[in-house]
Amino acid sequence: REQARQAQRYDWPGVDEHAVDTELDQHLTKTADGLRFRYLAAAATTAWSEMCRPPTLPPTDTPTLLVPANRSDYACAAFITGCQLFLGDNFQLSTMDTGHMAFLERPDELAELITEFVLGERHG
């Protein structure tokens, strides 16, 4: 378990210890070969297939909030520019100084951004 904990801390450097322990408690399972993370193969296959193809932009009449993490490279500049050009005034960009797991690193800040967006309080 400690090896899995260290690996998770390496992958999630900004996430607090309690969140890492909760993740391990909920998803680390014992097998005949030791410990491994629990997952559904079909879900993993679907997720990877979606990440391997060009992104699809939302319809132009859909208000869209994009919250890329500054310390992660999942939302590339070309995608952000495409959203800005395609969605125009229906696009809001609000970056966060986090890694990929923004919802674990700064849950309150992310919740505030989403709440303000849903309520129509634009800040981007």
pLDDT tens readout for residues 8-56: 888 888 898 999 999 999 999 999 998 899 989 999 999 999 989 988 8
Q: Is the pTM of this model over 0.85?
A: no
- The alpha carbon of 94 is separated from its chain's Cα centroid by a whole number of angstroms, namely 14
Task: For residue 124, give the nearest of 103, 93, 91, 78 by alpha carbon.
Answer: 93
Rg (CA), the chain: 18
What gap in Å lies between CA 93 and CA 81, rounded to an integer?
10
